[in-house]
Amino acid sequence: MLDVLIVGAGPAGSVAGAVLARAGARVRMVDRAMFPRDKLCGDTVNPGALATLSRLGLARAIESCGLPVEGMRLTGANGAVVEGRYPRGQMGRALLRRHFDWMLLQDAIAAGAQFEPGVTARRALIDGGRVTGVRAGGRGWEHDLRARITIAADGRRSTLAFGLGLARHPPRPRRWAIGAYLETGGTATSSPLGEMHIRSGRYIGIAPVPGGLTNICVVKPWRPGDHTFGDPRRLLIEELGRDPLLSDRFAGARLASPPSVLGPLAVDVRPCAIEGLLLAGDAAGFVDPMTGDGLCFAIRGAELVAHSALTALEHGWNGVHDRLAFQRRVTFAGKWRFDRVLRTIVASPPAVAVAAVGARVAPAVLRQAIAYAGDCQ
């Protein structure tokens, strides 16, 4: 029998797989997708995530294939602009998620983890109140995959977390993301800064990526009767066209690929206390990707999950879930509060206006927030 079955081979699954396989565990990773695969994302890895990857000896090629991100540029609806560099020369990287995920997956395979693409987890297998694997399927087949421990790293719409009643979409916030790559033809000046343009009830993230492309992601609320999401291309073009700071800059740009739509974004997950199961990455809870620290949550969280799995393999499940929950609180509680405050501000037009005034009066405060959002050490 396998020691660990990991459902999902994104960053969380691959990091957990690499850590576990290096420790000698028999690991099998499965994913419904064929890799490399595209994924809607801001395409930036912040300094904190890079530091964790460096410590773990993962994704070493990221320096050669990504663009440097030296800090962030924030703008408000009334023209307020604040630029902040990450402290002490720290920087992030911008690269396509298909390349980043592929690097991490190759690291996990090199460490000794098995990988099988095109495998969809249908449901968790329960035996005596304990998860013992998953019922999995592909084209023309379906059978059981058994393991001593199953790690659900299958994303924000986790089949396992939702199927077991651990996850739900909260009533608020109900925001959706629309993302695409644009070819700007030189009309949009490349910058070593990531960008976040905060507007009333929505925000627009911008990041140049290798290949002469620019990643554009609009995050905005959806309400019943709103049909604009049915034409994401038009929605994206209109959002850029009506923005006073972005309209001229992207007037000559064209879409390099059809836009992707993702939502609702927020997912609440109650603590997992089911023996045999651990949750990692977005399957453990997903928030709006406003601060760009989702990958840091996934990578560091996957490391914590891998060590919890090793403890369970060696000593049993007594206290494993409680200790993992405590470690996650200690590691992430401050960032969770920080992100909630920012999301609350974006959802309130008066708060956006106040924040814009604050940016003019005390820009140093926002520069400190930029460093904190980047998980700078």
Domains and CATH numbers, the chain: 2-40+96-171+266-345 (3.50.50.60)
* Average confidence (pLDDT) over 21-33: 98
Q: List the one residue out of 114, 117, 115, 161 whose CA is nearest residue 139.
A: 117
d(C-alpha 292, C-alpha 159), whole Å: 25
d(C-alpha 337, C-alpha 327), whole Å: 16
* Average confidence (pLDDT) over 348-355: 63
Report phi then psi at 47, rounded to 5: -55, -35
Asked if the bond preceding 264 is cis, omega within 30° of 0, the reply is yes
d(C-alpha 54, C-alpha 41), whole Å: 21
CA distances from 274 to 127, 132, 149, 160, 268 (A): 11, 11, 11, 12, 17
Q: What confidence score (pLDDT) does residue 347 get?
A: 58
- Residue 357, pLDDT > 90, answer no
* Average confidence (pLDDT) over 315-342: 88
Q: List the one residue out of 130, 105, 133, 108 whose CA is nearest residue 121.
A: 133
Q: Which of 130-134, 157-161, 249-253, 354-358 has the lowest mean pLDDT?
A: 354-358
pLDDT band at 358 (very low <50, low <70, confident <90, very high): low
- Residue percentage of the chain with pLDDT more than 90: 55
List the Cα angle 294/295/297 in 5-degree steps. Answer: 65
The two structure tokens encoding residue 266 = 């927020």
Q: What confidence score (pLDDT) does residue 82 get?
A: 80
Give 295-299 contacts, CB < 8 A, sequence gap 24+: 295/11, 295/45, 295/46, 295/49, 296/46, 296/48, 296/49, 296/52, 296/375, 297/332, 297/335, 298/10, 298/11, 298/12, 298/15, 299/11, 299/12, 299/15, 299/49, 299/52, 299/53
d(C-alpha 206, C-alpha 195), whole Å: 5
The two structure tokens encoding residue 242 = 């009506």
Name the DSSP letter for residue 36: S
What does the radius of gyration of the chain's CA atoms come to, in whole angstroms?
21
Task: Please write the tens of the pLDDT for every residue from 260-285.
Answer: 998 888 888 988 999 999 999 999 98
Task: Please write the tens of the pLDDT for every residue from 6-15.
Answer: 999 999 999 9
Cβ of 341: how many Cβ atoms within 10 Å?
12
End-to-end CA distance of the chain: 41
